[in-house]
Amino acid sequence: MEYGNLHMRINEILEEKCISKNKICKELDIPRTNFNKYCRDSVTRFDTGLICKLCWYLNIKVGDLIEYKRPEN
């Protein structure tokens, strides 16, 4: 059974706030390869420390960052 998935809205938020991926990775000391996995929705387990860093840096709530997408029938 398909239950849907979680979508990280990082790309959209960075674009809205005019912040480059290089800048946020450098300022938060996040490896770019790991960050790219979050941007592509290709992580299976979330790093809560990273989620907290992103929310703090971007001044957003977790619900602004992560979106649940129901499966299509």
Q: What is the pLDDT of residues 55-71, one digit of tens each?
A: 999 999 999 999 999 99
What phi and psi, each to the nearest 5 degrees, are found at residue 57?
-65, -45
Choose among 69, 15, 25, 17: nearest CA to 50.
25
Model confidence at 19: pLDDT above 90: yes
What phi and psi, each to the nearest 5 degrees, are found at residue 50?
-65, -40
How many Cα atoms sit within 13 Å of 70 on the Cβ side?
2
What was the pLDDT predicted at 72?
Answer: 84
Identify residue 40 by its one-letter amino acid code: R
What phi and psi, each to the nearest 5 degrees, are found at residue 68?
-85, 130
| pTM higher than 0.75 | yes
